[in-house]
Amino acid sequence: MAHVMEPGTSRFYVEGPLTSEEVRSAFDKVFLNCVTLIVQERNTYWVYVDMGRQCLLLEEADQKIKGEGFTVNGWKVTYG
């Protein structure tokens, strides 16, 4: 399933026995409601984030992504 990414959008994925609500909640805590789309393919969730929006924690989120990373209920989130 292909999705066209708008300019300024970043894509992440997380694999694990999760619900879409768990994924949405975890991303909203990092990106403050900048998630534009979540696509589930079996146990993988592709999460699209509009990095161009005014995210209050954008700087902190950038550090999390490039540094220690973040997880959804213990499952590692990967950029790309």
- Find out whether 15 and 40 touch, Cβ atoms under 8 Å: no
* Angle in degrees, 0-180, between the axes of helices 58-66 and 20-31, rounded to the nearest 10: 110
pLDDT for 63-75, tens place per residue? 666 666 778 888 8
- Residue 20 binned pLDDT confidence (cut-offs 50, 70, 90): very high
Domains of the chain in sequence order: 9-79 (3.30.70.330)
Q: Would you state the pLDDT for residue 1?
A: 45
Q: Would you state the pLDDT for residue 67?
A: 61
pLDDT for 41-60, tens place per residue? 999 999 998 876 555 555 56
Can you give the pTM of this predicted structure?
0.75
Backbone angles phi and psi of 48, in degrees to 5: -105, 130
Neighbours of 6 (CB within 10 A): 11
Q: Would you state the pLDDT for residue 6?
A: 65
